[in-house]
Protein backbone atom coordinates (compact mmCIF):
# COMPACT_ATOMS: atom_id res chain seq x y z
CA UNK A 1 0.00 0.00 0.00
CA UNK A 2 1.66 3.20 -1.19
CA UNK A 3 0.34 6.52 0.02
CA UNK A 4 1.73 10.00 -0.47
CA UNK A 5 2.09 12.01 2.73
CA UNK A 6 2.83 15.70 2.23
CA UNK A 7 1.56 16.92 5.57
CA UNK A 8 1.20 15.74 9.15
CA UNK A 9 -2.49 15.15 8.48
CA UNK A 10 -1.59 12.91 5.51
CA UNK A 11 0.87 10.97 7.68
CA UNK A 12 -1.76 10.42 10.34
CA UNK A 13 -4.19 9.14 7.72
CA UNK A 14 -1.52 6.85 6.24
CA UNK A 15 -0.82 5.36 9.67
CA UNK A 16 -4.53 4.86 10.29
CA UNK A 17 -5.01 3.20 6.90
CA UNK A 18 -2.06 0.86 7.54
CA UNK A 19 -3.34 -0.04 11.01
CA UNK A 20 -6.82 -0.81 9.69
CA UNK A 21 -5.41 -2.79 6.74
CA UNK A 22 -3.69 -5.00 9.32
CA UNK A 23 -6.98 -5.28 11.25
CA UNK A 24 -5.43 -3.73 14.34
CA UNK A 25 -7.16 -1.52 16.87
CA UNK A 26 -5.44 1.52 18.30
CA UNK A 27 -5.07 -0.49 21.53
CA UNK A 28 -3.33 -3.30 19.59
CA UNK A 29 -0.94 -0.81 18.01
CA UNK A 30 -0.31 0.82 21.40
CA UNK A 31 0.69 -2.53 22.87
CA UNK A 32 2.89 -3.38 19.91
CA UNK A 33 4.59 0.04 19.69
CA UNK A 34 4.78 1.12 23.33
CA UNK A 35 2.95 4.36 22.40
CA UNK A 36 -0.13 5.36 24.36
CA UNK A 37 -3.45 4.73 22.60
CA UNK A 38 -4.46 8.34 23.18
CA UNK A 39 -1.29 9.51 21.40
CA UNK A 40 -2.06 7.20 18.47
CA UNK A 41 -5.57 8.65 18.26
CA UNK A 42 -4.19 12.20 18.25
CA UNK A 43 -1.66 11.37 15.53
CA UNK A 44 -4.26 9.64 13.35
CA UNK A 45 -6.61 12.61 13.51
CA UNK A 46 -3.89 15.26 13.04
CA UNK A 47 -0.22 14.39 13.57
CA UNK A 48 0.81 18.00 14.07
CA UNK A 49 3.36 18.22 16.85
CA UNK A 50 4.10 14.48 16.97
CA UNK A 51 7.73 13.64 17.61
CA UNK A 52 9.53 12.08 14.69
CA UNK A 53 10.70 9.24 16.96
CA UNK A 54 7.06 8.47 17.77
CA UNK A 55 6.15 8.31 14.08
CA UNK A 56 9.09 5.95 13.44
CA UNK A 57 8.05 3.75 16.39
CA UNK A 58 4.55 3.46 14.93
CA UNK A 59 5.90 2.73 11.45
CA UNK A 60 8.14 -0.01 12.87
CA UNK A 61 5.21 -1.55 14.76
CA UNK A 62 3.25 -1.58 11.49
CA UNK A 63 6.25 -3.04 9.61
CA UNK A 64 6.46 0.04 7.39
CA UNK A 65 9.13 2.54 6.39
CA UNK A 66 9.41 5.99 4.89
CA UNK A 67 10.94 6.46 1.44
CA UNK A 68 11.96 10.02 0.60
CA UNK A 69 11.62 10.91 -3.09
CA UNK A 70 11.38 14.14 -5.06
CA UNK A 71 7.92 15.64 -4.90
CA UNK A 72 5.74 14.84 -7.87
CA UNK A 73 4.49 17.76 -9.90
CA UNK A 74 0.90 18.69 -9.12
CA UNK A 75 -1.66 20.97 -10.59
CA UNK A 76 -1.93 24.36 -8.80
CA UNK A 77 -5.38 23.45 -7.40
CA UNK A 78 -3.84 20.40 -5.68
CA UNK A 79 -1.46 22.63 -3.72
CA UNK A 80 -4.21 24.46 -1.87
CA UNK A 81 -4.76 21.36 0.31
CA UNK A 82 -1.18 21.54 1.55
CA UNK A 83 -1.45 25.05 3.03
In a domain, 76, yes or no: no
**Domain containing residue 30:** 8-69
| Lowest pLDDT segment from 3-7, 22-26, 45-49, 61-65 | 45-49
In a domain, 55, yes or no: yes
Q: Say how many domains are in the chain.
A: 1
In a domain, 51, yes or no: yes
Q: SS3 string of the chain?
A: CCCCCCCHHHHHHHHHHHHHHCCCCHHHHHHHHCCCHHHHHHHHHCCCCCCHHHHHHHHHHCCCCCCCCCCCCCCHHHHCCCC
Whether the pLDDT of residue 76 is over 70: the answer is no
In a domain, 39, yes or no: yes
Read off the pLDDT of residues 42-59 as tens digits, 9 standing for 90 and up: 999 986 789 999 999 999
CATH of the domain at 35: 1.10.260.40
In a domain, 54, yes or no: yes
| pLDDT interval class at 79 (50, 70, 90) | low
Amino acid sequence: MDQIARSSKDMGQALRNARKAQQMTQADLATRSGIWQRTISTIETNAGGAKLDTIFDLLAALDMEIVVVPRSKSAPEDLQDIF
